């Protein structure tokens, strides 16, 4: 099983004492990826967001900088909001990253859990799912053929045009990232694409049927299950002791979840809820290294996942 980290490059939304701005955060980010490579982690992911509390609106730029400071770690988006981007540019950017990194680039494509990019780039939220399906179709066509002829409803057609540069890898890895929608899991299976499942709340075991749906859809689509891969993407924090990990992580975690909760109508979190979530059956992976490792292994017994990514 591959182990890795991912982040949205969080920054302090308001200035003040101790605030971390985008300049400092992005410099820290490159050092984090370099360290992850040095200690032997397999993957580092960077999410795309267009908000004041995250610095990574252009993940591939930061990943390209990290490519020059690393040797073996895979560099992926987590995620690319494909619905509000152009598949041609996405492919070109990640192909360039693949060339710079010596074949270590991946794309993790998703519909996006935040909606800021849609009005920003002039897209209609009513087309949320159709945009993703159509643009994913184009992205896969570009990956599979140098010259592309393609037409859709929401983007201009392409008639026998080449897309360059081509990546170093024969087939640039394209993962589908989901947050719990069965239809999205089935789509990934039918297309024969690797699947990343983000779990940020509830009991992880309840999400296991999504991987069953994925594998069943892949089988019906005629795809070789031996060539597919799955990933669990979760929140967590590791420290020398369990108490230290919990005490250090609760404040920042609660601040973030409450801020997002106010936007989405969630109720406020509490320390009791946090402590329950970091228990054996909860979604948070918080504790000392041994405790977190044991929980990773326990979840692997349930999901049979090929990759595990921790967001701090």
Q: Provide the 10 A C-beta neighbour count for residue 53.
A: 16
Which CATH architecture group holds 179-311? Alpha-Beta Barrel (3.20)
Widest Cα–Cα separation across the chain: 60
How confident is the prediction for the chain on average, in pLDDT? 96
pLDDT tens per residue, range 105-151: 999 999 988 999 999 999 999 999 999 999 999 999 999 999 999 99
Mean pLDDT of 73-92: 98
The H or E element that residue 213 is part of is helix 208-220
Residues 6+ apart with CB under 8 A from 265: none
Asked whether 189 and 215 are in contact (CB, 8 A), the reply is yes
The H or E element that residue 95 is part of is helix 87-101
> Any idea which residue has 């730029």 for tokens?
61
Judge whether 1-171 and 179-311 match in fold: yes
Domain limits, the chain = 1-171, 179-311
The H or E element that residue 264 is part of is helix 242-264
Asked whether 56 and 64 are in contact (CB, 8 A), the reply is no
pLDDT tens per residue, range 14-50: 888 889 999 999 999 999 999 999 999 999 999 999 9
Note the pTM of the prediction, 2 decimals: 0.96
CATH class, 1-171 region = alpha beta
What percent of the chain lies above the pLDDT cut of 90? Answer: 93
pLDDT tens per residue, range 155-193: 999 999 999 999 999 999 999 999 999 999 999 999 999
The H or E element that residue 289 is part of is helix 289-303
Strands 195-199 and 174-178: what pairing?
Answer: parallel
How far is Cα 26 from Cα 44, in angstroms, rounded to an integer?
A: 14
Q: How many residues does the chain have?
A: 312
Strand partners, 147: 162
């Amino acid at each position: 099983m591959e182990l890795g980290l991912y982040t949205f490059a969080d920054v302090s939304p308001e200035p003040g004492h101790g605030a971390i701005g985008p300049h400092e955060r992005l410099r820290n980010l490159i050092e984090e990826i370099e360290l992850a490579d040095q200690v032997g982690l397999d993957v580092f992911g960077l999410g795309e967001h267009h908000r004041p509390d995250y610095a990574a609106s252009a993940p591939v730029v930061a990943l390209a900088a990290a490519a020059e400071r690393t040797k073996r770690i895979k560099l992926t988006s987590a995620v690319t909001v494909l619905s509000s981007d152009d598949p041609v540019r996405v492919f070109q950017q990640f192909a360039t990253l693949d060339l710079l990194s010596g074949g270590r680039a991946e794309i993790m494509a998703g519909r996006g859990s935040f909606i800021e990019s849609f009005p920003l780039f002039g897209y209609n939220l009513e087309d949320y799912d159709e945009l993703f399906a159509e643009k994913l179709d184009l992205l896969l066509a570009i990956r599979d053929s140098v010259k592309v002829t393609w037409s859709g409803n929401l983007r201009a057609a392409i008639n026998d045009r080449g897309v360059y540069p081509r990546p170093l890898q024969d087939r640039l890895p394209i993962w589908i990232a989901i947050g719990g929608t069965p239809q999205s899991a089935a789509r990934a299976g039918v297309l024969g694409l690797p699947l990343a499942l983000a779990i940020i709340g509830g009991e992880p075991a309840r999400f296991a049927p999504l991987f069953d749906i994925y594998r069943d859809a892949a089988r019906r689509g005629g795809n070789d299950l031996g060539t597919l891969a799955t990933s669990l993407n979760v929140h967590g924090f590791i420290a020398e002791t369990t108490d230290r990990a919990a005490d250090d992580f609760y404040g920042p975690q609660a601040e973030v979840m409450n801020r997002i909760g106010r936007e989405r109508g969630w109720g406020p979190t509490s320390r009791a809820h946090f402590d329950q979530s970091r228990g054996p059956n909860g979604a948070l992976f918080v504790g000392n290294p041994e405790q977190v490792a044991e929980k990773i292994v326990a979840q692997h017994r349930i999901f049979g996942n090929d990759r595990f990514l921790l967001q701090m």
